[in-house]
Amino acid sequence: MFEQIERVPGDPILGLIDAFNQDVNPSKIDLGVGVYRDAQGHTPILRAVKEAEALLLARETTKSYIGSHGDPQYGQHLLSLVLGSQSPVLEAKRACATQAPGGTGALRLAADFIHKTLPQAKVWVSRPTWPNHLSIFEAAGVPTRDYAYVDAATNSLDFESMLADLQEVAAGDVVLLHACCHNPSGFDLSEHQWQKIADLAEDKGFLPLIDFAYQGFGLGLEEDAYGVRLLAERLPEVIITSSCSKNFGLYRERLGTLIMVAANHDQMQNVKSQVAVVARANYSNPPAHGGAIVTTILESTELTAYWLQELDEMRTRILDLRHAFVNALKPQGLGDKFACIAEQKGMFSYTGLTPEQVDRLRDEYSIYMVRSGRINIAGINDQTLPYLCQAIAKVCQ
């Protein structure tokens, strides 16, 4: 039967990894893969994580299942981290947390939940959005529409067009929003713009699904949660997907959380029961190790302090790189063209480079990035920055 199966193209971002690894140019630069890198080009294990794992090695007594919702202690810590320790939503017991295999796993849980319990709903995603969003909802059988987000002509956030498109969303539809560090553009909503979105959600009756993959990588741990907390407190129902890949550096541990906010405690319990059914049919039980690491860190004053310091260092490094990148392009006459990069947030940036320019950077200079022109700022360091800027200047001539 397998002779009837056709080969399909691989994931374009994962394909960049293979192409980069096979490239023999010693000056090659990888700006495609979305992982944090330090000044030496490594993706480090955080000190807080290493010490938490050492404690786990000594303390862990079982490898038994942790249940479809995951470790309850982990869930409580993530609810406080995302919604705030003094959240009125938590005080009213309106929210529940389900541990998932990565932020992607949490998104798939959300998609399956929508398909199962809200079968008439469409999911609206920003234009552009993380490409895997579309794949996840397609795989779950959930139809999608899109709304304006970036003005390609000016490479800037087009909030007025975004609001205009969201006026067309029907009551009961789902709108996917990026909490911070928008992937792939790096353009984030201001507090005032978040308030406008909350007003519109109340007026139109749509359900926000907030992808919160980069908490702490934008303005700060608390600041990045502004939109999430605003919508959770003002609206009766919100879905949130959180990831620990970036802010804890737990990429390969695959640790995420699906947070469901309902109008009251009874409705939350109903929703929680449905999520358990969805999780059971998907992967049954989530992996335990990553959640145990985060729980160990957040239950220790000392380890939490280490983690907050390391998170601050990662965020500051990315911000410094943004400004260094723009400044290094000024002698090439490109400072104004790429000035928006210093205004964006998080690891990713829309550069405004065309697919043809991206191809030239790869073929002529061994600089790898997604053909949309999105780059991972954390893939730059002081040694590669001059070469990168010279190459960009060449392809922009």
The CATH number corresponding to 65-299 among 3.40.640.10, 3.40.50.300, 1.10.1200.10, 3.20.20.80 equals 3.40.640.10
pLDDT for residue 12 is more than 80 = no
Kindly indicate the confidence band of residue 25, based on its pLDDT and cuts at 50, 70 and 90: very high
Q: Domains of the chain: which residue ranges?
A: 10-44+305-396, 65-299
Q: Is the pLDDT of residue 130 over 90?
A: yes
- For the chain, percent of residues with pLDDT exceeding 70: 100
pTM for the model stands at 0.95
Taking the CA atoms of residue 138, residue 141, residue 147 and residue 150 in that order, the dihedral angle to the nearest 10 degrees is: -20
Residue 132 has pLDDT above 80, yes or no: yes
Average pLDDT over residues 282-300: 97
β-bridge partners, 372: none
Within its chain, how far is the Cα of 256 from the centroid? 10
The pLDDT-based confidence of 237 (bands split at 50, 70, 90) is very high
Please check the confidence at residue 285 and state whether its pLDDT lies above 90. Answer: yes
Catalytic (active site) residue 307? no
pLDDT exceeds cutoff 90 at 145: yes
Catalytic residue among 30, 71, 165, 211: 211
Active-site position among 130, 165, 188, 307 = 130
| 357-371 pLDDT tens trace | 999 999 999 999 999
Contact 71, 292 (CB under 8 A): yes
Candidates 71, 194, 224, 246; catalytic one: 246
Omega of the bond leading into 331 within 30 degrees of 0 (cis): no
d(CA 391, CA 397): 10
**Amino acid letter, 235:** L
Interatomic CA distance for residues 118 and 112, integer angstroms? 10
pLDDT more than 90, % of the chain: 91
* CATH 2.40.30.270, domain 10-44+305-396, yes or no: no
28 pLDDT band (50/70/90 cuts)? very high
Distance (Å, whole) CA 140 – CA 262: 22
Same fold across 10-44+305-396 and 65-299: no
Q: Is the pLDDT of residue 209 over 90?
A: yes
d(CA 223, CA 272): 28
| 130 is known as an active-site residue | yes
Distance CA 348, CA 35 (A): 10
